[in-house]
Amino acid sequence: MDYKKLIELAEAARENAYAPYSSFRVGAALLCRSGNVFTGCNVENLSFGATICAERCAVTKAVSEGERDFLAIAIYAGEKFTSPCGICLQTLCEFAPDIDIILPDGEAEYRIYKLCELMPINSIPIK
């Protein structure tokens, strides 16, 4: 799948975000090796520990449908490049330590990182 299409799916998923506390809405689109794509958005809760990020929402949907082999994830948060938080990086690492992380800027530009570029190497499990 073209990464620009993956970004468009993440942008569309962002529309479903529930962010009444932070007003920071995020969408994600996760590409599986099978070709399936799972989207997610952040869902906040007054108990902030119960909040789920868009990336983990997409991963949870994929895993619950039997997918565990991920190639790329696009994360759309509007007009700024926004990296996944540490919990999301660790979750992605659990399944795909070599995943491409696509970060658009809300315009035409996007950056692609390998997970190891955003996460300390000693946090990546050896399999």
Please state the three-class secondary structure of 33-80 as a single string. Answer: CCCCEEEEECECCCCHHHCECHHHHHHHHHHHCCCCCEEEEEEECCCC
- Among residues 55, 65, 67, 109, the one annotated as catalytic is 55
Which CATH number is correct for 3-123, 3.40.140.10, 2.60.120.10, 3.30.530.20, 3.10.290.10? 3.40.140.10
Nearest alpha-carbon partner for 75 in 83, 65, 85: 83
15, two tokens? 């529309």
Quickly state the pLDDT bin for 114 (edges 50, 70, 90): very high
Q: Are 48 and 28 in contact (CB under 8 A)?
A: no
The pTM assigned to this predicted structure is 0.92
pLDDT in tens, 33-90: 999 999 999 999 999 889 999 999 999 999 999 999 999 999 999 988 899 999 999 9
Active site (annotated) includes residue 11: no
HSE-up of residue 100 (Cα within 13 Å, Cβ side): 17
- Quickly count: other Cβ atoms within 10 Å of residue 53's Cβ: 21
Q: Are 80 and 95 in contact (CB under 8 A)?
A: no
21: exposed, middle or buried (Cβ count in 10 Å: 0-12, 13-18, 19+): exposed
